[in-house]
Amino acid sequence: MQLTPEVVAQLGSMEIRARLVVEGFITGLHKSPFHGFSAEFSEHRQYRRGDELKHIDWKIYGRSNRFYIKQYEDETNLRAMICVDMSASMAYASEGHISKYAYATYLASALTYLVLQQHDAAGLALYNTDVQTYLPSRSKMSYVQELMKALEAATPSSTTGTAVALHHIADQLSRRGLVVILSDFFDDPTEVLGALRHFRHDQHDVLVMQILDPREVDFDFGSSAVFRDIETGEELPTQPLQIRGSYRAAVEEFTQNLRRNCHDLNIDYMRVTTDTPFDVALREYLVKRQSIRG
């Protein structure tokens, strides 16, 4: 059974969803020709000249005739802060799809699980008008339970304050690392750009994942519809067929503007819709991680 976003939504706890998504992703990587990063997810790394011999795992040597070192918490390679937009606009879901917020939390849970399995440090920030939950980056695998609990407890609400929240998150990051932002970015583009520039000024690497519903991209709503602003409740009757072309052009301009701004700041950008398999985004993370490691 393929772990589509809709199937993942039917699984049990957030931790189960994360584990199954990551395990399926890793299995797929081992079967693919994809290279450029280490696909070794055990608690060991290969021996390097200068390592102390007392840390060699002789059991693994006996099985593989290769030297591996037991890896400890202080050998963390990367610190990742995963920021999830929980404003009301993220609650939107068209027929047959999960909400943008559900997609973001499932992806965030898989990312934190993957980060911790690689002995990197993962943290979590949930925000709407401002930061509502902030869990600093740690590298212990047991930390995953606290991160998953926070993701399960939160629900999207209130208006958007992406720029304000991101500035406050940047202020709390005391060490350089990777910042992953999961949002629809329905906010003032100039203010969002200022917040992204804040991260880069502090020398953080940044990965922006813009999450949209498929209907927000193609506007395929039939001949007539009533649209309601999730954040304000305002309703607008309209005929989608008459404005579909101009709407698609506006969305494309909006997303391309965000993409260009990210490119100018040396920030990685990707747009995903809520029917996109999670492994697409996880692979993007691994590419980014490998580029940081050089």
**Average pLDDT across the chain, whole number:** 84
Are 184 and 100 spatial neighbours (Cβ–Cβ below 8 Å)? Answer: yes
Last residue of a domain, one of 71, 93, 123: 71
pTM of the model: 0.80
Residue 163: which CATH number? 3.40.50.410
pLDDT at 130 over 70: yes
270 shares its domain with 155: yes
Number of Cβ within 10 Å of residue 219's Cβ equals: 18
pLDDT of residue 36: 39
Are 166 and 83 spatial neighbours (Cβ–Cβ below 8 Å)? Answer: yes
pLDDT of residue 115: 92
153 shares its domain with 46: no
58-80 pLDDT, tens digit each: 877 777 777 777 655 444 578 99
Domain limits at 47? 40-71
Last residue of a domain, one of 71, 89, 112: 71
Among 28-42, 43-57, 227-241, the minimum mean pLDDT is found in 28-42
Q: 96 CB contacts (<8 Å, ≥6 apart)? A: 6
Instruction: Identify the band that residue 182 occupies on the pLDDT scale cut at 50, 70 and 90.
Output: very high
Residue tagged 């070192």 (tokens):
69
60 shares its domain with 151: no
58 shares its domain with 152: no
Instruction: Provide the domain count of the chain.
Output: 2
pLDDT of residue 288: 83
pLDDT at 38 over 80: no
pLDDT of residue 41: 41
Residue 31 belongs to some domain of the structure: no
224 shares its domain with 273: yes
Among 96-110, 121-135, 176-190, 240-254, the minimum mean pLDDT is found in 240-254
Residue 19 belongs to some domain of the structure: no
2-14 pLDDT, tens digit each: 567 888 888 878 8
pLDDT at 174 over 70: yes
252 shares its domain with 207: yes
